[in-house]
Structures are given as C-alpha cells and as structure tokens.
Chain A
C-alpha cells in the first residue's frame, strides 16, 4: 500500500481527471474497477459515484408537470493544486509528485485522520484494518507503465478521461465544480467536468445526494 517513488512522465506538470456527467449512466464500473485493482476493504472507496436527485412536480391547470431531475457525479482524489489534506498533515505523509499526483506515504502516516476531516471531496479514507489513511493515487503504477488509470479504462460510456490538466481544459473547458462538489477555489482541484444539462438547477436547496448509504 506504500504510495511512493516510481518513474514518472517528465513532461506532465499536473495530471487531471475529466468527467463527462452528461454521459455517465451511473453504472459504477469505475468504482468497482478501482476497488478491484487496489483490493480495497469494505467502507473504503477511492472512486465514488454520487447520485444527485432534485426538482419537483408543478401543477399547471389540471396537469402535473414533471420538473424532477437526476444525474451522476463520479469522484476520486482530484490531485488538487492546493491539497488541503497535505497542509494539515503533521507528518508530511501527503505530498505531490512532480507530475502533480498527490501521494500518501503510509510509512509516515500516523492515522490522525486530520486529512479526512479537511478534504472536501471525501478522498482521504481510513482503513480500519491497517489503521492508516488511504487515498486514490491516480493509479500511478499504471501511469508510469503508460496505461490509463483503472477507472478510466473501465468506463463503458467513455465518461472518464485523464491527462495533462492544461490539455484537458483546452479540449473540454474549465468547469470543475457542479453540485454537490465544493467551490473549486478551496483547493483548486485538477479536474474538468462536462456538466449534465440539469446541473445548473441543482443547489443545496433544490437537490440532494440520494445514495449516501452507498458512499
């Protein structure tokens, strides 16, 4: 489980994920591929698929008009430019590689869980068996071997992609926040999202995460 070292692509300055919320069918193949590849225990999910549900029915004359909506948000660690998890870490166990991947040195981690409290994406997760923190490390072993991360490779809808952040922004735009994610300015995530068409309607007051039990 040690996440350190490894060769790395010298030309990449910041690896990032791209997520197409308009294509995601919520099948959770990414979540399962990640869990399988890293042999994650129960209660640890490095990639999670949030089901957002909102809206309501409105009455127009004698007719009830449906205004409900739902969409999916697949999230992992976003290898933030300002990783708040690492800022608070008392042991410097959390650090960024040259290519922007945020790694966790399990030999230095003391399991104080401060990073878990701080990360607004829920990316830092505690493993009750090892009594240590765990996190998505962008499948750096696959990256170093020239392969895509397991979640990206598993997506049947091609809703996930990865690459250099600047390239992804050029290709897909600069959106990195949709409900229920926090303000991007908090940690500057290396993430590009193509929002679902109903995402602008979703706020804390009009929508909710409908599958907390699963994540």
Chain B
C-alpha cells in the first residue's frame, strides 16, 4: 500500500495547506482576544494582508483537493449527505470558514465596521474552523480502518495546524508585514505554540502512530505496511522537525527573514513527510 502515499498528493496538499491556514487563523484569533487590551480585544493583528493570505492558502488547499476527485466538476454534489457523511460536513465547514474569513478580510480592508461585528465574525470563523478540523479527522476515523481509527489522526492534524499555523503567522507578521517590534508578544506566543506543537507531534508519533507508536495499532489487518517501509518517512520527518527547532532558535538570536523562512519551510517538509506516511499506512480490515 506504499503507493497510496504518492497517489494521494492532492490530499496531502489539501490537508497540510488547509490546516496551515486554520492554524494561522487560530493564532490571530487568539492574539486578538487574549493579547493585551483591557477591553479584552485588540484589532492590531487583524490586518487585511494576513486575512487575505489565510483565504488564499485555504482556497488553494480547496483547489488542490479537486485533483483527488474523479469528476471534480461534480464537487458541489459533495454537500448532499450532511446527515451521515463527515466528508459532506467537512466541505460545508470549509465553505463557511472561507466565507467568514473572506468577509472579515473585506471588512478590515474597508475599515468600516463595528468592533462587535468583527469580534462576532472572528468567533464564528473560529468555530467553523474547529468544526472543519473535527469533521476532517472524523472522516478518516472509519471503523473498518484501524490504522486511521485511533487518536493519532486528530493529534496529527492538530499538530500540523499548530506548527505550520504559528510559524506561518509569525512569518507573515515579522517578515512580510515588517511589524516585528510592534508585535513582539505575538511572536513570543507563536514561539511557544510552535515548540509545543513540535513536542505534541513527536509525542503522538512515538505513542500513537500506527505500526510505530507504543500504544498505536499493531498489525491488525492483512494489508498492513511493513514497519521498515515507514522508516524513511519517519526519519525525514524527525530531521526536518529538528531543522525547524534549530532554525527557530537561530532566528531568535538573529531576527530576520532567513531563519524564520527556513524554519517554516523545514516544518512544511516535516508535515508533508508526516502526512505522506499517514496515507501510506492506510490499511483496512478484511480484504
């Protein structure tokens, strides 16, 4: 089943990119609600370029996912089974999140809004993004696929969102928007989230990864991938994660674009390797 890792490149692209956009939005939503401001609200972080980037990356993820479909032009039919299908629900929340994030971006651009409205939209978009992530995890956690059934699936998605989201947000604010000094508390928060995400990813890998983790599913199906074939993915993921941490520390010693960009790219490579492994270990009960 190793072929699945490469065959599913549209899904690797879709999941990693959409989780990056969602994670970056979480950072901004969190910063807006919790970083400074006695009123409990700070709109400094809600900038048009950042929100537009979230919408573009999320839209790109949606576009890439169409390559997975046999008949992409029928994609709209995928909303037909909201009652029973987690895939239908995932697509619904994907559309809602994108619409809310785009509305926020436009409101911020026009600067013609009431803070209450923006706060409400941020809260709604955050809720939609959480429901999107839950639906995405649930659709893989099928009762006939033990290698995806466990807690590793949601932890892996959460790890990607937190790692790439925090680094992506930090990169946007510090490098592209050149707001480094003004948003220092935000960058510190992003550093904490990114390091926590690395710990979460490594712990979930060694504890719950199918075939590899201490508590992960052991051989339960006939089609399972031999552990030895997982090592290249595992090794490359660990190397890239180490690279991310190293670059992030170097960035803190020498603030600027190069090390932060390298940290993000290294994290992206780690998560692409990790997600490829996720699809490679697909194995169902029966035949």
User: Using a CB–CB distance below 8 Å, which chain A residues touch chain B?
Assistant: 48, 50, 75, 84, 87-93, 108-114, 117-122, 126, 130-133, 180-183, 186-187, 204, 208-209, 215
Assess whether B69 is interfacial by the CB under 8 Å rule: yes
What is the bound-complex CA distance between A117 and B142, given in angstroms?
9
Q: In the complex the two chains form, is B71's CB within 8 Å of A180's CB?
A: no
Q: In the complex the two chains form, is A180's CB within 8 Å of B282's CB?
A: no
Q: In the complex the two chains form, is A90's CB within 8 Å of B285's CB?
A: no
Q: In the complex the two chains form, is A110's CB within 8 Å of B75's CB?
A: yes
Q: In the complex the two chains form, is B144's CB within 8 Å of A118's CB?
A: yes
User: Using a CB–CB distance below 8 Å, which chain B residues touch chain A?
Assistant: 68-72, 74-75, 77-81, 84-88, 91, 139, 142-145, 219, 222, 282, 284-287
Q: In the complex the two chains form, is A112's CB within 8 Å of B144's CB?
A: no
Choice from A119, A122, A132 contacting B70 with Cβ under 8 Å: A132
Choice from A84, A90, A186, A209 contacting B88 with Cβ under 8 Å: A90
Taking the nearest CB of chain B, how far is it from the CB of A12, in angstroms? 25
9 contacts between A and B (CB under 8 A): A88-B85, A91-B78, A112-B68, A118-B284, A126-B70, A180-B287, A182-B285, A208-B222, A209-B287
What is the bound-complex CA distance between A209 and B71, given in angstroms?
33
Q: In the complex the two chains form, is B77's CB within 8 Å of A111's CB?
A: no
Q: In the complex the two chains form, is A90's CB within 8 Å of B78's CB?
A: yes
Residue from A48, A112, A117, A122 with most neighbouring chain B CB atoms (10 Å) = A112
Q: In the complex the two chains form, is B284's CB within 8 Å of A117's CB?
A: yes
- List chain A residues, Cβ under 8 A from B80: 90-92, 108
Taking the nearest CB of chain A, how far is it from the CB of B159, in angstroms? 22
What is the bound-complex CA distance between A62 and B231, given in angstroms?
44
Q: In the complex the two chains form, is A110's CB within 8 Å of B71's CB?
A: yes
Evaluate whether A118 and B142 lie within 8 angstroms (CB atoms) in the complex, with A108-B80, A181-B287 already known. Answer: yes
- List chain B residues, Cβ under 8 A from A90: 77-81, 85, 87-88, 91
Q: In the complex the two chains form, is B71's CB within 8 Å of A111's CB?
A: yes
A107 to B, closest residue via Cβ: B74
